[in-house]
């Protein structure tokens, strides 16, 4: 089998190498999955440089989200059978021909989703769900401003917020990407944030500002979001893809009556296990019922892993890029 190994932590993927290794056997309670698609996420790129909070020992195979078909069962596994289509996070990374995963960590692939769609679905939509439903407690008819709307977690929020009956403003720095988002999802408005967006958002919302702002970008985008959030609004901190972690003077939330809320979907589930299970079930139920529309920007073979990484690093992706061995 082939697998993409990180042998050393280095910039520009210099420590990554694709090589042939012996196909692993699943241990007790594990299964071997023939990988059909593996989502490329920013944590995967960060892990190649040692810049992610999870730092597996070298060498390791990245790839946190996969979909595929079970081809071998370990001792004691009775919940799956060979040939079942599954999705989940592997123990032996997803950027490979096969992946080893705990049988309990897998879910059945929703039938409406392709393998490529299913591979990149779970984490992005779970983040959007925890942000909108659990943290912001969004209501139908509220204005939701989604920054980074063309990215994986941003586009998931656009899709989910529309399904929840919200009025959605998709925001990005690219007119080209916004045109794709507009055609695919039909948000209520699209805003190019280049040169500022405060007054545009206020005009769109009739002067009140956005009730909920979903921000995976940080930096200047966060700073200006403080200026166009509605009274009693909720500013959701998802991440800092801009590279700068912003700060806010507490007189602004005081005067404008808004809340700043951090969102860590995985940690939320660990802190509140029962709610975490409910969140996961809700997200995958929507997929099984065909209520959501994840977008795959590109599906590239394993030997083109560098091109897949570059698509994400260069911010060329609208939705998700996947590696399909």
272 lies in some domain: no
In whole angstroms, give the CA distance from residue 199 to residue 210: 11
Say which CATH number the domain at 18 has: 3.90.180.10
- Shared domain check, 109 and 140: no
- Shared domain check, 141 and 98: no
In whole angstroms, give the CA distance from residue 104 to residue 30: 8
pTM of the model: 0.92
Domain count, the chain: 2
3-class DSSP assignment, residue 278 = helix
3-class DSSP assignment, residue 120 = coil
- Shared domain check, 187 and 115: no
- Shared domain check, 109 and 16: yes
- Shared domain check, 6 and 60: yes
Local confidence pLDDT in tens for the 325 residues of the chain: 999 999 999 999 999 999 999 999 999 999 999 999 999 998 899 899 998 878 899 999 999 999 999 999 999 999 999 999 999 988 768 999 999 999 999 999 999 999 999 999 999 999 999 999 999 999 999 999 999 999 999 999 999 999 999 999 999 999 999 999 999 999 999 999 999 999 999 999 999 999 999 999 999 999 999 999 999 999 999 999 888 999 999 999 999 999 999 999 999 999 999 999 999 999 999 999 999 999 999 999 999 999 999 999 998 999 999 999 8
- Shared domain check, 154 and 235: yes
- Give the domain extent around 42: 2-121+294-323
Q: In the structure, how many helices (H) and strands (E) does the chain have?
A: 11, 15
274 lies in some domain: no
- Shared domain check, 139 and 8: no
- Shared domain check, 191 and 115: no
């Amino acid at each position: 089998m082939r697998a993409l190994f990180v042998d050393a932590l280095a910039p520009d993927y210099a420590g990554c190498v694709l090589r042939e290794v012996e196909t692993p056997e699943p241990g007790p309670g594990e299964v071997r999955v023939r990988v059909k698609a593996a989502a490329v996420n920013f944590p995967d790129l960060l892990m190649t440089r040692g810049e992610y909070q999870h730092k597996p020992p070298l060498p390791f195979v990245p790839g946190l989200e996969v979909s595929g078909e079970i081809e071998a069962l370990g001792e004691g596994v009775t919940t799956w059978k060979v040939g079942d289509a599954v999705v989940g996070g592997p123990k032996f990374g997803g950027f490979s021909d096969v992946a080893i995963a705990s049988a309990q960590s897998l879910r059945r692939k929703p039938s409406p989703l392709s393998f490529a769609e299913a591979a990149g679905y779970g984490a992005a939509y779970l983040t959007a769900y925890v942000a909108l439903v659990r943290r912001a407690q969004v209501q139908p008819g509220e204005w939701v401003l989604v920054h980074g709307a063309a990215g994986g977690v941003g586009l998931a929020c656009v899709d989910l917020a529309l399904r929840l009956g919200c009025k959605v403003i998709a925001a990005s720095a690219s007119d080209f990407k916004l045109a794709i988002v507009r055609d695919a999802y039909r948000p209520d408005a699209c805003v190019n944030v280049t040169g500022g967006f405060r007054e545009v958002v206020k005009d769109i919302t009739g002067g009140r500002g956005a009730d909920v702002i979903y921000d995976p970008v940080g930096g200047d985008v966060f700073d200006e979001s403080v200026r166009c959030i509605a009274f009693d609004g909720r500013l959701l901190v998802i991440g800092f893809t801009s590279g700068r972690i912003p700060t806010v003077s507490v007189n602004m939330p005081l005067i404008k009556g808004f809340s700043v809320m951090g969102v860590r979907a995985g940690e939320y589930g660990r802190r509140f296990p029962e709610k975490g299970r409910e969140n996961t079930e809700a997200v995958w139920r929507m997929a099984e019922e065909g209520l959501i529309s994840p977008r795959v920007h590109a599906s590239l073979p394993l030997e083109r892993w560098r091109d897949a990484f570059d698509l994400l690093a260069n911010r060329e992706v609208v939705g998700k890029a996947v590696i399909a061995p």
